[in-house]
Each structure stands twice: as structure tokens, then as C-alpha cells.
Amino acid sequence: MHLDDTDRALIAALQSNARLPVADLARSLGLARTTVQARLERLERSGAIVGYTLRLGEATRAPLHATALVNIELRAGPAVLARLRSLPGVQVVHTTSGRFDLLVQIAAQTTQELDETLDRIGETRGVKGSESLIHLSTKIDRRG
């Protein structure tokens, strides 16, 4: 799907506040409400917009975040992913190229909880080794 400047402006407005009423979006973009509604429906149908979500503020987020870089044994991926899926502190898992096989993002309320999650990852059958990085501060966050 091709996105034009109006589509991008509409998406940017929704990324700032997904709860904006269509009338407010139309007013801020200088478009008719029906035009904005039609564009939203087209963006949703095409998969450019797949949903609207709630972003939590700092007061409700876990205070500790870490990344575990994990090496796994050959063909152990499905079992390791199943174990990672069962750990509540594991938020996101990416496969990677390079020295590590998986990048695991973790959130925890306490250092003990973080330590336990890292221990569970390290003891998982199929994990050859891992290295963890505790996030200290966020300098750039464009996730919208």
C-alpha cells in the first residue's frame, strides 16, 4: 500500500494520541470528517493500522529493564522460545544475526525478580550461554 503525506500525518497524529476523535483529527489536518473516516478505514483494511493501544506511563511500568543476549544450541529454538514465553518478565524476543541468536527484553519490579528471570533463562535446556545488559536510561524512544 502506498502512503501519501496525508496518510502519514494522520498516522503521526494517532501515534501521539490514538484516542483523538475523528472530528479533531479532521480539524487538525484540515480535512472533512468523512475523508478522515474513509482514510482510517482504508488504512485499517490494508493492514497499515492494525490496532489502537494503551501506552502505560512511568508510574505503571516495571522500573527495571534488561536485555539478555542468548546463544542457543542448534535446533533448540522452539523449546527455548516455549520456555521464554512462559516467563512473565520476558517482554519481547528477537532473533538476531551475529554472535548471539536471541535478543530477549526483560522487565522486572525488583533486582531479585530480574536476577531470577535471568537465572531461568540461563538454566533453560538448549541455552549455551547468555550475556545481560541492564538498561540505565532511555535517550531515544520512537515507538510512539
Instruction: Give the pLDDT of residue 15.
Output: 87
Q: Is the pTM of this model over 0.75?
A: no
Instruction: Give the pLDDT of residue 134.
Output: 97
- Asked whether 30 and 4 are in contact (CB, 8 A), the reply is no
Instruction: Give the pLDDT of residue 16.
Output: 85
Instruction: Give the pLDDT of residue 19.
Output: 92
Question: Which residue pairs from 106-110 have beta carbons closer than 8 angstroms and sit at least 24 positions apart in sequence?
Answer: 106/65, 106/66, 106/67, 106/68, 107/61, 107/62, 107/64, 107/65, 108/62, 108/63, 108/64, 108/65, 108/66, 109/62, 109/63, 109/64, 110/64
Mean pLDDT by 10 residues, the chain (144 residues): 92 90 96 96 95 81 94 97 97 96 97 97 97 94 71
